[in-house]
């Protein structure tokens, strides 16, 4: 059974769709030096207020951003230097990606996931470009801006590193029937199955035939985008539209409406 087969079987009315969060938790990965530590080093270097201090401050601001990008990839069980082809396919299937070809795939992935606004992504790209291709002493203002950008980037993306298990249903069947989505954090995969609640009991049909998606499948990232967007109603709408389009659900995207209990 495919995900589309299951969604059609449950007969969810996506004109009045609803995402019901269940259990949740933080997505974590620890490095010996964390992004926030690199950011702290950058701020300390900046206080020296000479050429060497500004260069080191700028370099550590870049390291803070690079470390944060790598952390996000590892949170999904992926090596950022050797990620699966599904990442690029997910980027292509997203309606929320810049058409610019000079943005690194890792940053395009974060934009597709809704992890950071396009302006932050663009400014991050510009900072990385200047550091990698020019050998000019940075000004006080440039370093100050870079530190602010690194801090904003880390804050924006950290706020998204909280995922929720959830039930995809509609207003009529709320708390009764739907498609349950659970994340297995130990194995980096999603388990999806039919959810039915009758009285005080919860039933799941054909559990031996649960649908699973790993991080080498595009569906994994669409499901994760929903799981990390439950604080943001507009992001949930966008994430669900992308998922339904990808699995070729017959409903026109302009008819899709989704509500949720914001976390």
Chain centroid to CA 18: 20
Q: pTM to 2 decimals? A: 0.88
Q: Which residues pair with 198 in a beta bridge?
A: 201
User: Which helix (H) or strand (E) is 134 found in, with range?
Assistant: none
pLDDT score for 136:
76
Tokens of 229: 């967007």
- The strand pairing partners of 202, in sequence order, are 197
- pLDDT average, residue stretch 88-94: 93
User: How many CA atoms, within 13 angstroms, populate the side-chain half-sphere of residue 86?
Assistant: 16
Share of the chain above pLDDT 70, in %: 89
Are 220 and 189 contacting, i.e. CB atoms less than 8 angstroms apart?
yes
> Which of 148, 143, 70, 56 minimizes the C-alpha distance to 106?
70
- Mean of per-residue pLDDT scores for the chain: 87
In order of 178, 205, 261, the CA distances from 202 in angstroms are: 12, 10, 20
Please check the confidence at residue 263 and state whether its pLDDT lies above 60: no
CA 133/CA 126 separation, integer angstroms: 11
- pLDDT value of residue 198: 59
pLDDT tier for residue 210 given thresholds of 50, 70 and 90: confident
For residue 105, what pLDDT is reported?
A: 85
Q: Examine the pLDDT at 209 and tell me if it is beyond 60.
A: no
């Amino acid at each position: 059974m495919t995900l589309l087969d299951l969604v059609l079987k449950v007969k969810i009315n996506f004109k009045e769709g609803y995402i019901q969060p269940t259990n949740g938790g933080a997505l974590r990965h620890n490095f010996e030096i964390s992004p926030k530590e690199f950011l702290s080093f950058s701020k300390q270097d900046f206080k020296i207020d000479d050429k060497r201090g500004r260069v080191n401050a700028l370099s550590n601001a870049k390291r803070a951003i690079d470390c944060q990008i790598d952390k996000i990839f590892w949170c999904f069980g992926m090596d950022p230097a050797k990620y699966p082809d599904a990442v690029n396919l997910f980027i292509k299937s997203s309606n929320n990606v810049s058409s610019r070809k000079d943005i690194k795939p890792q940053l395009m992935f974060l934009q597709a996931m809704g992890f950071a606004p396009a302006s932050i992504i663009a400014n991050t790209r510009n900072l990385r470009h200047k550091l990698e291709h020019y050998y000019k002493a940075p000004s006080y203002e440039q370093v100050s801006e870079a530190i602010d950008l690194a801090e904003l980037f880390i804050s924006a993306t950290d706020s998204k590193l909280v995922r929720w298990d959830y039930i995809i249903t509609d207003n009529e069947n709320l708390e009764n029937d739907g498609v349950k989505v659970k994340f297995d954090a130990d194995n980096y995969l999603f388990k999806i199955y039919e959810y039915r609640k009758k009285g005080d009991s919860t039933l799941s049909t054909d559990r031996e035939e649960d649908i699973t998606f790993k991080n080498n499948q595009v569906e994994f990232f669409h499901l994760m985008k929903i799981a990390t967007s439950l604080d943001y109603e507009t992001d949930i709408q966008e994430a669900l539209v992308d998922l339904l389009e990808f699995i070729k659900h017959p409903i026109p995207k302009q008819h899709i409406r989704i509500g949720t209990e914001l976390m």
